[in-house]
Amino acid sequence: MDGSVEPLKARRIYLLLKERIGSGGLPPGSRLPGEPALAAEHGVSRVTIRRALDMLAQDELIDRRAGSGTFVRSHSPVRPLVADLSNVLSHIVEMGRRTGIRLLSFAYAHPPAAVADALGLKAGERTQRSVRLRLIDGAPFSYLTTHVPERIGLTYSEQDLATVPLLALLERSGVTVDRATQAIGATLAGPEVAEALDLEIGSPLLSLTRVVYGPTGEGIEHLHALYRPDRYSFEMELSRAGEGADRRWSPVPVAAARRDAG
Amino acid sequence: MDGSVEPLKARRIYLLLKERIGSGGLPPGSRLPGEPALAAEHGVSRVTIRRALDMLAQDELIDRRAGSGTFVRSHSPVRPLVADLSNVLSHIVEMGRRTGIRLLSFAYAHPPAAVADALGLKAGERTQRSVRLRLIDGAPFSYLTTHVPERIGLTYSEQDLATVPLLALLERSGVTVDRATQAIGATLAGPEVAEALDLEIGSPLLSLTRVVYGPTGEGIEHLHALYRPDRYSFEMELSRAGEGADRRWSPVPVAAARRDAG
DNA sequence: GCTACCTGTCTAGCGTATAAGACAATTGGC
DNA sequence: GCCAATTGTCTTATACGCTAGACAGGTAGC
């Protein structure tokens, strides 16, 4: 059906070499052992070694010169990464990049137990579930799944959701947003997400789960976001605060919208 | 020569499902979609799905009942996750969990260009590079690689590093730590890291890169940390601040050491 | 120029992961 | 009891990752 399966041994060697390059084990400009030598060293055939090197070359981590050898690129492959701390939307807009939203799905249904729990819903209560894709300069970087209790979700239209940030919609509807908790983790791309984000299945993703509460502690919104780490990362500035045993890092009051290299 | 190649698609699906179970996407006791449904969803054959489920069963993560279905084991191996925002070390200690450090490597050498850049080193200047593994209740959860300029690294011993947090060592040595920048992303486990963290190659990892600066802006420490997302995640509390167009999230002053589920 | 080593490209073949489908055995709901 | 859906166990065929080797072309040192 598919056929485009990635190699396995080749992939391992690719990851190994990539790690060595990234960690300085193979300094920039240095020459790698010849392909036959690498093949012998790793106990694989030369074809497999070449596959691994192909991937490194595609990442622009190495330069291959026929007759001469394979060299670690002196110039690192750069960082098209966007940046942000807690406020996802506005900073991007401020940075002047054109971002877009594509609404992939929109429906009212019974939420998964984990979501119902987090929002403090009664058994059987339904939510509005929407899946949106966020783009920057036309390239998708974020896959957002939100759940909003049905009664709140009815205060705006599907059309609204495809254009206006959800929190703005909520506050426009008179909902008072008070506080939120969020957790950042990592996961792998499944088939649907991989497809939407233009990735291969099994690619690493940044995951963010945020639960938004109103003043009385009732759940307002459950957001699950998946980010392509090569196009998006969380950046923040810290300052050293406290004294003695209580000395610790504390985040700088935001505002520090980080510049990006793009 | 070899021939015993591991499954590939099956392995991916295995990792994917394992991740979903571990992260609560598939709650304990819940029933998985049927094998034909999973096969269709992932675009693979049922045999492949069964291979993935075989692996999960071997991990005792699922129960398979012929005629009934496949269920996530209620016995939860899950959620020993730690939590924290910016100050990695102290909160864990406060939480009363026994944490440990294992020093994996310690040497002075020329750093990779990215590190030298970030620290603002002169060409040819060397750094002390150390790799440490952090454990919680005996289980590894974090793989730390630090670079410190040679002149600063010489103020403490290898033995110190294996027991005392690095920042404490630095401040004890009279170094003034002022501010830092950090970025959170996601990546895949390479061979060495996978081995150290007791993971399979290709597992997802949280990555944190922090650069610490002194009062005059000189680089003091470059930290690259990789976390097992099932054992560690970043959590934070946000409050809604600002007015009108400037309305945004802002992190709660820390202190809010988040409780964990034990 | 000559030589040694390198990457680039091709061939042939093996082992196995995967696909596609059939059928049996079990379970649970009606 | 009956029926639908499930897992368990086969079969056959295909796809492809990997091996092993040969050969061409480029590059650098002697």
A12 CA to D17 C1' in angstroms comes to 13
Spatial CB neighbours of B237, under 8 Å, sequence gap ≥ 6: A179, A180, A181, B251, B252, B256, B258
Specify the nucleotide whose C1' lies closest to residue A1 (CA): C19
Q: Which of B's residues 148-207 have CB atoms within 7 A of nucleic strand C?
A: none
Does A15 contact strand D, using a CB cutoff of 7 Å? no
List, in order, residues 6 or more apart from A108 with CB less than 8 Å away: A126, A127, A128, A129, A150, A153
| Length B36 CA → C27 C1' (Å) | 17
Length A25 CA → D11 C1' (Å):
50
The distance from CA B126 to its chain's CA centroid, rounded to whole angstroms, is 27
Give yes or no for CB of A84 within 7 Å of strand C: no
Read off the pLDDT of residues B120-141 as tens digits, 9 standing for 90 and up: 999 889 999 999 998 887 889 9
Per residue in B193-237, pLDDT tens? 888 998 877 788 999 999 999 999 999 999 999 999 888 888 888
Question: Residue A161's closest CA among A183, A141, A145, A138?
Answer: A145
> What's the token pair of residue B34?
């049927």
Residue at shortest CA–C1' distance from C17: B7
Q: What is the pLDDT of residue B36?
A: 92
> Is B1's CB less than 7 Å from nucleic acid strand C?
no
Strand C nucleotides within a 7 Å radius of protein CB atoms: 4-11, 15-22, 25-28
Asked if B85 and A251 come within 8 Å (Cβ–Cβ), the reply is yes
| HSE-up (13 A, CA, CB side) for residue B166 | 26
Q: What is the pLDDT of residue A86?
A: 45
Shortest distance between the Cα of B61 and any Cα of chain A, in A, equals 18
Closest by alpha carbon to A17, among A48, B183, A4? Answer: A48
B227: number of CA atoms within 13 Å, CB side?
25
pLDDT in tens, chain A (262 residues): 333 345 678 888 888 888 788 766 788 888 999 999 999 888 899 999 999 999 999 888 899 999 899 999 876 554 544 555 544 444 554 454 567 889 999 999 888 777 888 999 987 789 999 999 988 878 898 999 999 999 999 999 898 888 878 888 888 888 888 889 888 889 888 777 888 998 877 788 999 999 999 999 999 999 999 999 888 888 888 888 777 666 777 776 543 333 333 2
**A191 with B24: Cβ contact below 8 A:** no
Q: Kindly tell me if the per-residue pLDDT of B78 is higher than 60.
A: no
Give the pLDDT confidence score for residue A80 in this predicted structure.
45
**Cα(B211)–Cα(B91) distance, rounded to whole angstroms?**
20
On chain A, the residues whose CB falls within 8 A of the CB of B186 are 186-187, 204-207, 227, 229
* φ, ψ (nearest 5 deg) of residue B26: -120, 100
Which domains does chain B show, CATH number per domain?
9-72 (1.10.10.10), 82-251 (3.40.1410.10)
A47 touches strand D (CB under 7 A): yes
